[in-house]
Amino acid sequence: MTQEEKQLLLKDLSSRLHYGVKVQTKALGGSTTEGILWSIEYNETGTFIFHKNSLLGYSINEDIIKPYLRPMSSMTEEEINEYKHFVAFSGNPIGSANFIDWLNKHHFDYRGLIEKDLALEAKEGMYNIKENKL
């Protein structure tokens, strides 16, 4: 993973913390676990430190933490209408903080992390957006 990819992943994960982003981690032995990311930082040695469903901290190599995100193509009809609303009223929604928050709340991969193998495609129904009131 390049330094630019590490920074992109950290930036993306940090912006999603309030929305209960689900992640998959792999231990050095190869076993995988899943959980909700509660906090994250990137230290000087190039390691992500994060807390996942626990008060305990885990030190995880940056190559083995991946968020579950939804491709933009997975928008429901209701989400498409909300998306069109942002476009109609702001002209350029990408620069809007409210629009970025909306994308994060709905767990959309607007940075192309799935294509870069920095994220996993969320399974259908993995996130119940209507219950996510944050």
At 44 the pLDDT is 63
Encoding tokens for residue 14? 């940090």
17-59 confidence digits (pLDDT tens): 889 889 887 766 777 778 888 777 666 655 565 655 554 455 5
Q: List Cβ neighbours of 76 (8 Å cut-off, separation of 6 or more).
A: none
Q: Which residue has the higher pLDDT, 128 or 127?
A: 127
Rounded CA separation 51/56 (Å): 6
Q: Which residue has the higher pLDDT, 91 or 59?
A: 91
103-116 confidence digits (pLDDT tens): 999 999 999 999 99
Decide: 107 and 121 in contact? Cβ < 8 Å.
no
pTM score of the predicted model: 0.79
Decide: 1 and 63 in contact? Cβ < 8 Å.
yes
The C-alpha R_g of the chain, in whole angstroms, comes to: 15
Domain boundaries, the chain: 3-124
